[in-house]
Amino acid sequence: MSSKFDILQEIYDVVTDRKFNPKEGSYTSYLFDKGLDKILKKVGEEASEVIIGAKNENSDEIRYEIADLIYHLTVLMVHQGLTWEEICNELKSRR
What are the pLDDT digits (tens) for 6-29?
999 999 999 999 999 999 999 999
pTM, entire model: 0.93
Residue type, 13: D
H or E element, residue 43: helix 36-55
Dmax over Cα atoms in the chain, in whole Å? 43
Distance CA 57, CA 89 (A): 31
Distance CA 65, CA 93 (A): 27
- Structural domains in the chain, CATH included, are 27-92 (1.10.287.1080)
| pLDDT > 70 fraction of the chain, expressed in percent and rounded | 99
Distance CA 47, CA 13 (A): 23
